[in-house]
Structure 1
Amino acid sequence: MEVCPLPAVRFPASSLRYRPSSFRATKLQLCYASSSSTKEIPPFGHEERNINEKQMMFIMGLGFVGEFVAKNLINQGWDVSGTCTSVAKMDRLKKLGLNLHLFDANHPKLEVLDIMNEHTHLLVSIPPCKDIGDPMLQHAELLRRKLGNERLQWLCYLSTTGVYGDCGGAWVDENYQPNPPSELAKLRLAAEEGWLTLGRELGLAAHVFRLGGIYGPGRSAIDTIIKRGPLSDAQSVRSFKKYTSRVHVADICNALNASIQNPFPGRIYNIVDDDPAPRTEVFSYAHKLYSEKWPSQIKNVVSPAPVTNKSSTKVGRLKGDKRVVNERMKKELGVRLIHPSYRSGLQSICDQMHDFPTLSPGE
């Protein structure tokens, strides 16, 4: 995900709340009205769409996930545009066939919002910033004016399972009461509410995806081992967590594709695999795959085991243990996971490495 620069002016988190405004009268109103009940939400009426209209995705924040999603959609024949915050990244991504725009979410350019308004789908992949929250939702009134057309149909905000906080290892579904453990996590929860509210006001099929720990090619336990460096203090401390729910980036694309085909407006989904597992277990399996594929390199590998004498003072403050449930994703969206476990995901990453690589730090 793209990291946004912080502005000089500071906004309170309360500024993320929205004033009601009128919005298009569509079937979406009925869908949203039932979203707080226990009844199953009816899917967005496909008959309202122009089936001949070109599918066009705008990705706000082309980070690790956004780039992977963009490639996936281009391969399906979509037109894909998006934003990034550096010229170097823009030049690299343009070679993939994307329409790129330099963008500072704190000071949005109107012409970029006009371009966004020409698309049928919008994916928001920008994290909140300290003290101000979601940088785009500072401009909610502007977004309401600029995005209030009949072409934009679908919106998804990428959030995190971190909003649930420490659940003592319990199984957690979307009905579990979030307990954000930090100010940024609280701002993330406020952003979820903000984008769903904006979607409802604009008559869009808006969704929130709470992603588990994201991994994929170039960003995994295998990549961390390959860089041949010791684990950082933060990585070592995370090794003591009993459970971590993860998701391969290919399955994030999988779930997004399913939501586009069968939207459930106003719905929140946990996007995780079936196998919440300790970090030490994941690294042990990654080490096994590495040693089998590159046995001559194994002598250069630093053990992924945590250094207990350096980390023990921090273990008592470690929070976040939970096992996240993905049943709603499977039942309502019909998602069949490509990688139901980290074992399948890491094996796939290893299989794609034909020569011994030199990669940047990953997980």
Structure 2
Amino acid sequence: METAPSTENATLPKPGRLFCFGLGFSALALARRLRAAGWSIAGTTRSAEKAAALRGEGIEVFLFSREQPLADPAAALAGTTHLLTSIAPDDAGDPVLDLHAPALTGLAGLSWAGYLSTTGVYGNRDGSWVDEESELRPNAGRSRRRVAAEEAWLAACRTEGLPVHIFRLAGIYGPSRSMLDTVRAGKAKRIDRPGQVFSRIHVEDIATVLQASMAAPRPGRIYNVCDDDPASPAEVTAYACGLLGVDPPPLVPLEEAGLSPMGLSFWQDNKRVSNRRLHDELAVTLTYPTYKAGLDALLEQGY
């Protein structure tokens, strides 16, 4: 079942060509919305199977990875008016810039570019608030790589005129990727860690923020993309269980939760992320301003 796109902040430039490096969950939410509005959509994936499926939707797809650069980047990117990249940096750096920076900076018709980063760049604040002007204190290696990638994209903005905007995303959820699915799968945990909070964002609200930025570009600008309600993971789990009519799992200490090293690393950071800039500067009204609104809607939509 398709989720209903937001009708808020629907202003967009006239239809152009959006090219997405990384046609993943977040990028596709925007791409499908724009395609329905008459835009031409192109982008990359690592999987030939996924590429075939997306071509079936009318999306022009190219295979891309650090090991497999675009065969003809000038041809692939020709006509691109808007660019979105969601590919994570690796140990060597940002693969998109490393492999195709000259082709990107040579796009004469490019009016907007977005780089999807993470609120993990702020590191731990012991539950305090951060905003876009806060010092970056990444804990995990992946977050440190994100800081370096952000700096590289912003440098391309300053020195090459690439119209880059940075979007720091909180924990993403949406259709078939929410705590409702985790509970149904019997994998939900309720970890007892008083004071721990995370911020999160519905995937359709990510698309709304990107759409609003495309309508009012400010190259070099950074935006936190999260909802209005930082909340404890245990609280979210309990609410999802209530929606599904099942008992919440017992509270357990973090050390006894059996999390993977990757899972544990997310608990190093405890902060509340301010989204005031996306409201004030982009005039965005979130469709799902709280996790309760998001989970309620997903259940109503059949997810």
Please state which band the TM-score falls in when normalised by the shorter chain.
Answer: 0.7 to 0.9
Paired residue for 1:310? 256
Partner secondary structure for residue 281 of structure 2:
helix
Gapped runs of 5+ residues in structure 1? Answer: 1-50, 292-297, 358-363
Q: Measure how far apart 1:111 and its partner are.
A: 1.3
Instruction: Give the counterpart letter for 2:187 in structure 1.
Output: P
> Where do residues 253-332 of structure 1 align in structure 2 (5 Å cutoff)?
253-291=207-245, 298=246, 303-308=248-253, 310-311=256-257, 318-332=267-281
| Percent sequence identity over aligned pairs | 40
Instruction: Give yes or no for contact 2:41–2:60 (8 Å, CA) kept in 1.
Output: yes
- Report matched runs for 1:81-92 at 5 Å: 81-92=42-53
Q: Which segments of 5 or more consecutive residues in structure 2 lack a partner in the other structure?
A: 1-12
Give the aligned partner of residue 205 of structure 1: 163
Residue 173, structure 1, aligned to residue 119, structure 2: no
Q: 1:285 to 1:203 in 2, by over 3 A?
A: same
- AA paired with 2:289? P
8 A contact 1:200–1:206 mirrored in 2? no
SS in 2 for 1:59: strand
Q: 2:76: which partner in 1? A: 115
2:83 maps to a residue whose letter is L
> How far is the alpha carbon of 1:218 from its aligned partner?
0.7
- What's 1:46 paired with? none
| 1:250 alignment partner in structure 2 | 204
| Number of matched pairs | 287
- Judge conservation of contact 1:243–1:276 (CA < 8 Å) in 2: yes
Partner of residue 132, structure 1: 92
CA distance in 2, matches of 1:240, 1:65: 31
How far did 1:153 drift?
1.4
Is the radius of gyration larger for structure 1 or structure 2?
Answer: 1
Match of 1:7 in 2: none
SS state at 2:257 partner: helix
Contact 2:167/2:223 (8 A) holds in 1: yes
Give, in angstroms, the shift of residue 75 of structure 1. Answer: 1.5
- Higher mean C-alpha displacement, 192-201 vs 265-274: 192-201
Written as runs of structure 1 = structure 2, the 5 A alignment for 1:88-237 is 88-129=49-90, 131-139=91-99, 142-145=100-103, 147-227=105-185, 229-231=186-188
Are the equivalent residues in 1 in contact too, given 2:190–2:237 (CA < 8 A)?
A: no
What whole-Å deviation, never above 9, does each CA across 1:119-151 have from its counterpart, x for those lacking one?
A: 10000000112x213222323xx4225541321
Conserved? CA contact 1:214–1:249, under 8 Å: yes
Mark the CA change 1:281 to 1:177 in structure 2 (over 3 Å): closer, same or farther: same
The amino acid that maps onto 1:184 is: R
* CA distance, structure 2, for counterparts of residue 217 and residue 200 of structure 1: 37
2:110 and 2:163 in contact (8 A); partners too: no
Give the TM-score normalised by the residue count of structure 2: 0.87
Match of 1:61 among 2, 22, 25: 22
Please, what TM-score do these two structures have when normalized by structure 1?
Answer: 0.73
Cα 1:239–1:115 shift into 2, 3 Å? farther
Structure 1 contact 161–270 (Cα < 8 Å) conserved:
yes
What is the CA RMSD across the aligned residues, in angstroms? 2.5
